[in-house]
Amino acid sequence: MTTPVVLLLDPIPADAVGDALAESFRFAGASDPILSAFDAGAGRGDGIFETLGVNDGRARGIDAHLDRFAASATKLDLPQPNLPQWRAAIERVLGELPRTGQASIRLVLTRGNGGTPTCWVTGSIVDGDFPERTTGIRVVTLSRGYANDVGEHAPWLLVGAKTLSYAVNMAALREAKRRGADDAVFVSTDGFALEGPTSSLLLRQGDRIVTPAIQHGILAGTTQADLFDVLTAEGFTCESRRIDTRELLRSDAAWLVSSVRLAAPITAVDGTDVATDPELTARMNAALLG
Ligand code: PLP
């Protein structure tokens, strides 16, 4: 099989085992028509997804991604995914990807058309070497339009779920480019830094590493969690808390981190250069790739 790889999953109950599981996959061609024009995922972005980073044939953080996938399904009142089925699907797609180099795997579950979810997994080779892991990214701060505690008061906004409704996130990236930057950091209306449109925010302040706490309306990042383990083992104190937007300018280093691009050091915020830590960035990316 050549990449990209597409594997369709028959939706099965979350607790189904045995034969139901074994017979629930089908490979498709990359340009096969797998989706109805009436699918809620296509028409309304009503569904959830996950993107996993793959290096040399191994996917990072499968458990963490599956846990977040299940949590997103709960938040959207979608049927619970059968996690052994999705894990087996990831393994099948991994088996079709090259044994060396970087790739990504995406899990998608939509509300489907008429009550049955539509489910698929794709695998794609990642082109290029992500020069921004060393050269860095310039970011602009962009309002998310609500206060940092919105998740507690308006759960229907789904702030902590990884939904297919990413049009706003993509618009923020285009706005960042229009302003001459590479990426964005969303900020709350009450002045707190939240996350990037497709990434989590990490700051170094001396021997402390801080990230916005998830109760403040952001996605729980799997890369951030892995880096907290790595950095705690290095002797850093890692904490999740509210982060005043002004801290972006006065930290010793800042990164946007995510599963495929990994740790991209922030070199400028709203046109002002900020401090970077190239050695620590290199260690973080080596650990994520290792
Ligand atoms: N925040 C948002 C809004 C994202 O879309 C992503 C990833 O796509 C992240 C954070 C980082 O999550 P992860 O590290 O699990 O890739």
ipTM: 0.99
DSSP 269-281: ETTEE----HHHH
The alpha carbon of 258 and the centre of ligand 1 are apart by a number of angstroms equal to 5
Which of 78, 107, 125 terminates a domain? The answer is 125
Examine the pLDDT at 262 and tell me if it is beyond 80.
yes
Q: Are 202 and 211 in contact (CB under 8 A)?
A: yes
82-94: average pLDDT: 96
| Ligand 1 and 217: CB distance under 6 A | no
**Which domain CATH number covers 224?**
3.20.10.10
| Ligand 1 and 259: CB distance under 6 A | yes
Which of 125, 150, 170 terminates a domain? The answer is 125
Q: Measure the CA–CA gap between 107 and 99, rounded to whole angstroms.
A: 20
Q: Which atom number of ligand 1 is nearest to the Cα of residue 226?
A: 14
Q: Measure the CA–CA gap between 101 and 97, rounded to whole angstroms.
A: 9
pLDDT in tens, 108-138: 999 999 889 999 999 999 987 899 999 999 9
Tokens of 218: 């952001």
Do 187 and 209 reside in the same domain of the chain?
A: yes
**Distance linking the first and last C-alpha atoms of the chain:** 27
**Which domain CATH number covers 25?**
3.30.470.10
Do 63 and 206 reside in the same domain of the chain?
A: no
Do 156 and 259 reside in the same domain of the chain?
A: yes
228 lies in which domain range?
A: 132-289
Do 237 and 142 reside in the same domain of the chain?
A: yes
Omega before 13 within 30 of 0, i.e. cis: no
pLDDT at position 19 is 80
Q: How confident is the model at residue 161 (pLDDT cuts 50, 70, 90)?
A: very high
pLDDT at position 217 is 78
Q: How confident is the model at residue 215 (pLDDT cuts 50, 70, 90)?
A: confident
Do 49 and 93 reside in the same domain of the chain?
A: yes
Burial status of residue 19 (CB atoms within 10 A of its CB: 0-12, 13-18, 19 or more):
exposed
| Ligand 1 and 219: CB distance under 6 A | yes
Average pLDDT, the chain: 95
The alpha carbon of 195 and the centre of ligand 1 are apart by a number of angstroms equal to 8
pLDDT-above-90 percentage for the chain: 88
Tokens of 249: 């300018």
Do 107 and 247 reside in the same domain of the chain?
A: no
198-217: average pLDDT: 94
Do 113 and 251 reside in the same domain of the chain?
A: no
Tokens of 3: 């990449």
Number of domains into which the chain is organized? 2
Which of 98, 125, 152 terminates a domain? The answer is 125
The alpha carbon of 198 and the centre of ligand 1 are apart by a number of angstroms equal to 5
137-155: average pLDDT: 93
Least confident of 149-153, 229-233, 234-238: 149-153
| Ligand 1 and 258: CB distance under 6 A | yes
Do 69 and 121 reside in the same domain of the chain?
A: yes
pLDDT at position 273 is 98
The alpha carbon of 223 and the centre of ligand 1 are apart by a number of angstroms equal to 8
Do 91 and 192 reside in the same domain of the chain?
A: no
39-67: average pLDDT: 97
Q: How confident is the model at residue 1 (pLDDT cuts 50, 70, 90)?
A: low
15-38: average pLDDT: 89
Examine the pLDDT at 255 and tell me if it is beyond 80.
yes
Is this model's pTM higher than 0.80 or not? Answer: yes
